[in-house]
Amino acid sequence: MKLFLDANVMYSASRSEKGASFTIFQLRDKFKLHLISSKLALVEAERNIVEKENQLVLKRFYDLLKHITVISVKSDKAKVFYKNIIEEKDAPILYG
């Protein structure tokens, strides 16, 4: 099963090894989860971690990245696809 992780999931998983977001990574092998995210989501998560958290959280973020396949999302195409449905800024994440 493919599971798309947005910036909030990555941020939360990096902050705490006790939350549901981190549990996704623990269950990855057991349930054969294929974890994916977009470069845009990962850049957003990294930016928030650098601005708000310490080096331990940033290191955990980089460790978690090893288990994720990064996909390319064409922002312009996503914005057209979801025009008038969701906020323009959220379109690339949903499209991913």
Helix (H) or strand (E) holding 36: strand 34-38
Strands in 34-38's sheet, in edge-to-edge order, are: 2-4, 34-38, 69-71
pLDDT tens, position by position, 17-34: 999 999 999 999 999 999
Tell me 83's DSSP state: T
Taking alpha carbons only, the member of 10, 1, 5 closest to residue 57 is: 10
25-77: pLDDT as tens digits: 999 999 999 999 999 899 999 999 999 999 999 999 999 999 999 987 666 76
Who has greater pLDDT, 27 or 90?
Answer: 27
Residue 82 has pLDDT above 60, yes or no: no
